[in-house]
Each structure stands twice: as C-alpha cells, then as structure tokens.
Amino acid sequence: MRADIKKTFYRRSLRLNLAVIVCFLLAYNGSLMAQDAESPSHTLDPVVVTASRTPEHLSKIGKSVSVITREDIEVLPVNSVADLLETISGVDVRQRGMHGVQADVSIRGSSFEQTLILVDGVNVNNAQTGHHNLDLPVNLEDIERIEVVKGPAARVYGHNAMAGVINIITREADHSTVGGYAKYGDYDYYDVGAHGAVTTGDMSNRASASRRSSTGHIGKESTDFDINTFFYKGTINRENQKITVSLGYSDKDFGAYRFYSDTFPNQREQTETLLAYASAHLKMADLEVMPRVFWRRHDDDFKIEIEDEWYRNEHQTDAYGVQLGSRFTSELGTTAVSGEITFEDLESSNLGDHNRRRSGIFLEHRLCPLEELVLGIGASAVHYSHWGWELWPGAEFSAELSDGLNWFASIERSFRIPTYTELYYDTPANQGNPYLKPERAWAYETGIRWRDKGVSADFSLFRRDENDLIDWSRASKQDPWKARNIAENTTQGLEIGFELYPDAFWGKRFVSSLNMAYTYLDSDWNSGELESKYVLDHLHHQLVGSIILDWFGTLTQAVNVRYEERMFGDSHVIVDTRLAYKSHRYEVFLDVTNLFDEQYVESGFSPMPGRWIVAGVKLHMDF
C-alpha cells in the first residue's frame, strides 16, 4: 500500500516537473528563434468595472483582480465557464461533470456559497443552493471577458460577496456577423452552436444558441448530459445614453451519479434557468445615472434512488428586483451612490414555500490626494426581512512606488446570508437549521503589482477572519449532517503570479505568452468536537500555468497545467492542450483534456473523466 502511494506521488511529481520544465524550455527556445519586428501591444493594465462602482485601471485598484480576456477564451482548451475559471490562481473550481454540467466555485479557501457570481453586474447566485450558481444561460461565444475579484466586496455588492466576485461580461455587437461551430469527441460527445449579429445605426442585436450532449464517461444514464443554451443581447448606444436588454435561457438534463451521495449513488437532475435584465447608462455633464431591472428563474428537479424507489425534490426559485446607481465627479473625487430592492421566492416540495426581501444603499468615494495615490472608502447598509439592518464598511488604497510598480492594500467587512437549503432541508441524512445566523468576516490584504511592456508580476498576502461560519457538521458518524454556525475560522495565505509576452521584446516569436501563478492557503478553525463536511475541504497548494505556442503562424497550440493539493492531502496534476489551425473565416482544432489520464475526484464522490479528445471546426463571416 505504502509503495503504491509513493509510486503515485512520484508519478504526479514527475508530470508536474516535466510540464513546468517544458514550458520554460519552450519559452527560452522561442526567444532564441525570434526575429525583429514591430512589437504588438498587450493590455496588461485593463479597465476593471467589477472591483468598485467606479471603473478604474487595474494598476490603481487596491485589491487582487484577474481578467480573462476574449483572446484567452478563443485560444485556451476550454468548453465552459468552469473550465475558464480553473485557469485562475486562487479560484477553486470543483466540477462533478465535464463541459458545464455542474460545478462549485470558491475563492481563497472559502465555501462555494461565499463567492458572488454576476452576469453583466446582475447577481445570479441561487437562493436555493450555491450548487446552482454556475447554471448560467450564457454561451462561451457570448462572453467578452471575465473579471475575478479575489477578496470581499460587500461594500460594493452586499451579501454573498464574502470571499470574492466573478463578473461575466457579455459581448456587444460592433458589426454584422454570422458564425457557428461543431465539435465531436469521446463518449459520443457533440457540441454545435451558431451566433449572429446585426448592427444598424446606433442599434445592435446579437444572439447565440448551442446544444451539447454526451452518453457519459461512466455509463449510459449515469453521467450522460444534454444541455441547451440561448442568449440574446440588444443595445441602443447614443452619445449620452446607452440602453441594453438581455435574455438568456438554458436547460440541463444529466445523470448525477454519486454527485451528492455515495450511499445512494443513482441520482439524476434537470435544471432550467431563465435570466432577463434591462439597464440604461445616462450621462448628464458630471453625473451618470444607471438604472437596472432583472429577473432570474431557476427550476430544479432532483431524483435519487433509495432502496429501489426514486425520491423526487422539485424547486422553483425566483429572484427579481430593481437597482438604481449614480456616479458623479467633483474636485473631491468620484462618488458613487446606489440602491436596490430584491425579492427571493421559493416553492419547493422539500424545503417548503418561502420568500424574503432585501433592500440597501451603497456609498463609495474614490479620490487622488496625490498623483501617485488612489484612496477608496465605502460602505453598504442592507436591510433583510429576516435579519434586520447590517452595515458593511471597507477601504483600500493603491500607491505608485515607481513607474509600473504599485503597492496596494485593503480592509473590509463582509457577510453571507444562509441559503434556503441550509435553512430548511430535511432528510434522514441532512438537516437544515431555520435558526442560522448570517456569516460574518473581516478580510485584509496587501501586495505589490508590477506592469511593464510585455511583462507583469504580482505578489499578495491575505487573511480572512470569519465568525458564525455555516457548515454541515455532526457529532458522530451515526448522526445526520446538520447545518450549524461554527464558532470561528481564519484563512490566510499568499499568491504569486507572473505573465510574459516575448513578442513585446523580440518581435516575431515561437512563444506568444507564458504565465504561471501559485497560491498557498492555510486555515485555523474551531468547531469543538464536531466533524465538518466542507470547511477544510479546500486547496492547500495550487499552481496553474499556460503557454501559447505559434508553430507556423496559422498553427497554434495552447497548454494548460494545473496542480492542486487539498488540506487533507489529496492532489492531482491536470494538463490540457488545444492545437488549432486558423484561417480568415474558419478554424480547425483538436482538444485533449486530462492529457495524462489522471484519475481524480474534484467534488462529491463522482470520478472525473480521464483523457477526453474532441475535434471541432469554427466558421465565421463578417459583413
């Protein structure tokens, strides 16, 4: 047994070391092969809209932020939002099924309930359970970029932005186009989609639709899936006003073998998600006004086989509301004031029928007392129909130490309210608790950020002190899991990241880009003698990296490497790659995920698939 463990450890270490060495050797050889040419520009200091209510360049933000660009989405070997998020250091994505079937996401050792998911700034977290937060009615073709704020943002977004925020920003059509794609691969997998855009004057319309399906990597009706997605976005963009309307829909039908229980492995689930929102951006001199209305409906039909009988839970969750934001500039800086009213309704065969309301006001002010210094302070005051008023302040700063080198720091109080599942779920194995209190935390961070032509580096230290942490726990194995407010938990760690674009120095290149990032996490928690189900089930070490290679100009290859080790010692190394030939109007590509056929489980009890090969073609035409 011990010999098998050592053999597995050495095999994983060898794969990780080999992948890292290959990345650096390719980067070095590419530099030697490069020829002089005009250096293209790389956006290493993008404008970020998620970290505060005032858009700001990344270098002037007092928090750790990562951005996945449209160029990344086009070239990386990914098939879903979950795949994209796995390329970000500090983000823990735990998939139960591939290709967007189901996944939980957390940031810096948090629970998956403590991360806020947004689509164009609209809160899409599910009030029933955080397991559905990534049920997104958005295709990859619809995404312009994803901004990830690693750290609390309660003063900007209120509840559930306790450990971080993921904002999926969708594309807007700037010209008329039509396109589509088709993929086919192992396990009878296929994915087909089409998109089109029409622009006339100051109006634009963009729509996409897709369907992906597989018989599953374990067995028929065990991990099979069918997923359909549709998304539309229309925009009127005039000189001082912009109006946007969006509508998204998705339905998933999938085998959930061992997703949530190992004792009763046969499970099946079907979900439907509808997201509709409309917003405006009106400019009047130094004043900007931004109203928004939204509605999200989520239907969940879950079945589990217990002793040859199928038990069924049906849930319908509605979240709808209105938000009004404003922003104005004066000699004292930029001030943002916003307000919201949101309602969350649940109809459930297991949880019962419930509703709650929240309303709040958000205030933020950013000023530059010196040219090299940016300060941001703010607070949110939110009223909950079940818990009353809560106040959540925060502050941050960014100081330019030298050209391209910035020091940043932040302190913020944050919180999370319980989901309906945590409050009311009732089975022989799991019991909710209607007397749960919201989770609360203070978070601190400081770090250095360096940006120069074609190269960037980041280093940060962070700490999160949590109280009334909610977890499923039990006194003994004979007892059911019960949702409780655990006394306290402290999570601390560090992140180091590096990004290089060799062509900015040497012109034509063999290596387009190279990046690597490492995250270390440690937790010190106290829940007495109770056994915890989720609290310490997070990453301890994480190393992610990617390299983009240009073989013959039109032939490119992307390689993603991910090493993850959890607090309890489980670890794995995953390598994914895409080889693509690109022409003006089409692209042919080959994806290989889990290249070395690693055997591992990310979440629950269902094993992830081994090596999975998919081939595809993309077509597009501009007008």
Phi, psi of 400 (to 5 degrees): -85, 110
pLDDT score of 535: 62
CB 402 within 8 A of CB 435: no
CB 253 within 8 A of CB 225: yes
pLDDT score of 90: 95
- Indicate the range of 30-44, 293-307, 434-448, 529-543 predicted with least confidence: 30-44
- Reading the block at residue 498, the tokens are 């590096």
pLDDT score of 508: 66
Please state the pTM of the whole predicted model. Answer: 0.91
What's the per-residue H, E or C state across 239-299?
CCEEEEEEEEEEEEEEECCCCCCCCCCCEEEEEEEEEEEEEEEEEECCEEEEEEEEEEEEE
- Strands (E) in 331-387, as ranges, are 333-348, 352-370, 373-384
Report, at the CATH architecture level, how domain 2-622 is classified.
Beta Barrel (2.40)
| pLDDT tens figures, 205-256 | 999 999 999 999 987 678 999 999 999 999 999 989 999 999 999 999 999 8
Domain limits, the chain: 2-622
Say which amino acid occupies 500: L
Say which amino acid occupies 613: I
CB 268 within 8 A of CB 252: no
List 278's β-bridge partners, or say none. Answer: 245, 293
pLDDT score of 527: 63
Q: Which residue has the tokens 């839970």?
A: 313
Q: What percent of the chain has pLDDT over 90?
A: 68
Using 50, 70 and 90 to split pLDDT, how confident is the model at 14?
Answer: very low
- Reading the block at residue 345, the tokens are 């309704």
- pLDDT above 70: residue 374: yes
Phi, psi of 527 (to 5 degrees): -125, 25
CB 439 within 8 A of CB 114: yes
- pLDDT above 50: residue 34: no
CA distance 138 to 250: 8
Other Cβ atoms within 10 Å of 19 Cβ, number:
22
| pLDDT tens figures, 316-327 | 999 999 999 999
Distances in Å between the Cα of 487 and the Cα atoms of 114, 132, 466, 529 are 17, 27, 8, 12
Q: Is 97 exposed, middle or buried (0-12, 13-18, 19+ CB in 10 A)?
A: buried
